[in-house]
Structure 1
Amino acid sequence: MSILKNLFIAASSIVIVALLYVLWTETQQKSSKAAPSKSAPAIAHSKTTHPVHESDLNIIELSPEAVKRLALEFATLEVRSMPRSRPYGAEVVLPTDASVIVSAPLAGTLRESPGREFPEVGQSVRDGEPLLELLPLLTPELSVLTHSERIRVAESKLAVAQAQIDATGQLQQAKVQSEATQIAFARAQRLFKSGVGTKQAVDDAQAQFESASEAFTAAQARKALVDDINLDAEAGTLQPIPIDSPLQGIVRSTLVQTGQMIAAGAALFEIMNDRVMWIRVSLYVGELDELSTSQPARLTLLDGVHSEQDTIAQPIAAPPTATPLSAAVDLYYEVANDNHHFRPGQRVAAHLPIIGEAETKTVPWSAVIHDIYGGQWVYEQVEPLKFVRRRVEVGWVEEGRAALLRGPAVGAQVVTAGAAELMGTEFGFAK
């Protein structure tokens, strides 16, 4: 019994010592946490009165050093006479002469131009650049002529010969006509100088002479073009005819392949010039009298928000078009597209100027900032070093100034440079 009693006393002593050690450890931890930090407190250059959501107003107070570092700039909200504009949905379209389909002048076989690959869709081409070659007839080096090919050779020779004969006859006729009108013009001048003829007779003779001269020049050009088609007397073959690009642009579509036999007049490829684009704006016919259609239009993205990337489009005289079912008429504008920024079929927002100006509250456009929900705000300086975010509604932007439909009172000082930094300070993602 004495041994058990001693063991019980020893175990109780160990438990009591362990409990005392745990209590001492907890006391040391609490005291270390409660001890004040000896490091120097951080100096805050900006502070807010209380954390709020973005829809609530908040007063931002900056230190003089923060204002100096941010280089804040201010402007006074004032009333000005502002030109007005109205946004409309618009479509980017190609001009009527921007797309050309190149056709084969004669029947024959297509092949690639020496040192060039077959033109691919989207490839940029220059004006007069050779894209393909046309072999009007098969040469003995390429193939042995069959019976049907010999018939085609004979038909081609006849067509070329007939074209050359017609060109020669037209050139002679144009030459005789030009010489006759020249003689008549000289005679009319002599009669007028002698007092027998009239001024009207001289003018008529001069017009006939100039018209005949133009016809003679065109006949010479046609004769030279036909003469470039050389006939091979030995095999009855023709030299390859280069197919050049008629304008500078990009290949929009190709309708043939190399080695293909094609007929005269068959479409080969289409070249599109997108360096100049048209903007078609559809609007309700009842609003047409309210707009100044002779002034340029501002092009923005579909959200209608103005930016430095906006493009100015000039009005042009285009064929009138309309949509009877929607009582809409179309206005056309022209814009340069050297950087290929616009594409056919692209939708944009066109801000058209309205006749007359309006007296409205305005601020510099740089003072307006946007939140993640599209809301528009400005920062107003209510006291030195204190700023408040105010909601505004921008009606339109012209010449770097925003017309406000609602906002702070006239005379308020708004921040024009550094507003984004103030928003970062207010919502905690900047210091």
Structure 2
Amino acid sequence: MRPPLILLLPVILAACGGEPSKPAAPPSHAETIAHETELLKLTLTPQAQQRLGIGLARVGDGSASAQRQVAGEIVVPPTSANGVPVNSLTNLQQVGAQQAAADAELARATAQARLARIALNRAESLVREEAGSVRARDEAAAALAAAQAALGAARQQRQLLGPSVSSLGSQATLWVRAAVFGSDVGNVRRDGAATITMLGAGGAPRLARPVQAPPSANSAAGTVDLYYAIDNRDRAFRVGQRVSVGLPIAGQTEGLSVPSTAILRDIYGGEWIYQKTAKDTFVRQRVEVASESGGRALLARGLSSGAEVVTTGAAELFGTEFGAAH
């Protein structure tokens, strides 16, 4: 009876599937990579530090007026107090045609006023010589008043259309239209200057003073427009350019203060600073800048009070770390 049992054993093993099945692959996999805290530690000789012009400063406590960052657009200011700013959505072809018609009307009204003045002077001269009637003089005076009223209206209509289309790109002063949410308008300090920063470009932020403009808003976005004037004599800004606007709001922001020259920004917008951690040793640290004003940067996080940071030569250290020539 044993041989039949031995023959059945392979059949039973085959029915059970033979080798055990492999476990299913996990849906995700985590792998340790280099962290931004594991940065290069630069050690420079005193001669190298002197050659790079390394300057140091200690981090101290500071405060600054609180700011709210909003989107802004460069627009052309009107030529009169009652005018409307020219923005990128304006149909310049239509505005140019309206300006040409307004210029022609202004020239016609000017000529009519000049002729009415001549007619009045002639009528007054005839009355003095007793060769003309008082009624003719009064009618000439009324005609002059009507011509002057028409001239004033023509001038006002021309001013409402703003500067000529050909001169829009050569304005010494431009306005910045800042779109502020309606819930935040009450917190904005209208007596303080705004900080204007170009998007995707370097350079220090610029200050813009608040100006009065006709009320405007975007009901779909729930924003109200605030306007600021900025100096553009160097032609740094163009009409329709988008910028970042730092609006001063009520309250103070506390933090750590360092010179603005110590801040480095990479191509992704990350903000860094070089800290001296030991003698002749420097390490790059990530920071977050809350605001900048008067050559000082207020940090929201990233350092501790009393730390020593590089203020002069930070860009040279950045090049040394990544092998870029300076």
Q: Please give the TM-score of this superposition, normalised by the length of structure 1.
A: 0.49
Q: Deviations over 1:9-46 (max 9, x none)?
A: xxxxxxxxxxxxxxxxxxxxxxxxxxxxxxxxxxxxxx
Quick one: which of 68, 72, 77 aligns to 1:90? Answer: 72
CA contact (8 A) 2:61 2:256 kept: yes
CA distance in 1, matches of 2:236, 2:258: 30
Would you say 1:81 and 2:63 are equivalent positions? yes
Cα 1:320–1:390, aligned 2, differ >3 Å: closer, same or farther?
same
Q: Percent identity?
A: 36
Secondary structure, aligned partner of 1:292:
coil
**Correspondence for 1:416:** 311
Are 1:64 and 2:46 counterparts?
Answer: yes
Identify the residue that residue 267 of structure 1 maps to in structure 2.
none
Tell me how large the CA RMSD over aligned residues is.
3.9
Query: Structure 1: where are the runs of 5+ without partners?
Result: 1-51, 107-133, 137-159, 177-214, 226-245, 254-270
Aligned length: 247
The equivalent of 1:292 in structure 2 is 189
Q: Deviations over 1:136-181 (max 9, x none)?
A: 9xxxxxxxxxxxxxxxxxxxxxxx9x988754454467899xxxxx
Secondary structure class of the residue paired with 2:69 = strand
User: What is the Cα deviation at residue 78 of structure 1?
Assistant: 1.3
Please show how residues 124-163 of structure 1 align to structure 2 within 5 Å.
none
Give the superposition deviation at 1:388: 1.4
Is 1:307 aligned with 2:203? yes
Asked if 1:365 corresponds to 2:278, the answer is no
- Shift in Å, 1:53: 8.4
Deviation at residue 326 of structure 1 after TM alignment:
2.1
- Work out the CA distance in 1 between the residues paired with 2:314 and 2:45: 16
1:85–1:353 Cα contact (<8 Å) kept: yes
Equivalent in 165, 169, 173 of residue 252 of structure 1: 165
**Distance across 1 between alignment mates of 2:209 and 2:125:** 46
Counterpart Cα distance in 2 of 1:174 and 1:300: 63
**Counterpart check, 1:356 vs 2:251:** yes
Look up the match of 1:200: none
Q: Which amino acid aligns with 1:402?
A: A
8 A Cα contact 1:295 1:353, kept in partner:
yes
- State the secondary structure of the residue aligned to 1:326: coil
**With structure 2 as the length reference, what TM-score do the two structures score?**
0.64
Distance 2:291 2:198 in 1: 14
Written as runs of structure 1 = structure 2, the 5 A alignment for 1:189-208 is none
SS of match in other structure, 1:424: helix
Q: 1:318–1:386: structure 2 CA closer, same or farther, 3 Å change rule?
A: same
Aligned amino acid, residue 311 of structure 1: R
- Partners of 1:358 and 1:339 in 2: how far apart? 32
Whole-Å separation in 1 of the counterparts to 2:291 and 2:265: 15
Q: CA deviation at 1:372?
A: 3.5
Unaligned runs of 5+ residues in structure 2 are 1-33, 81-94, 127-140, 152-158
Amino acid at match of 2:74: V
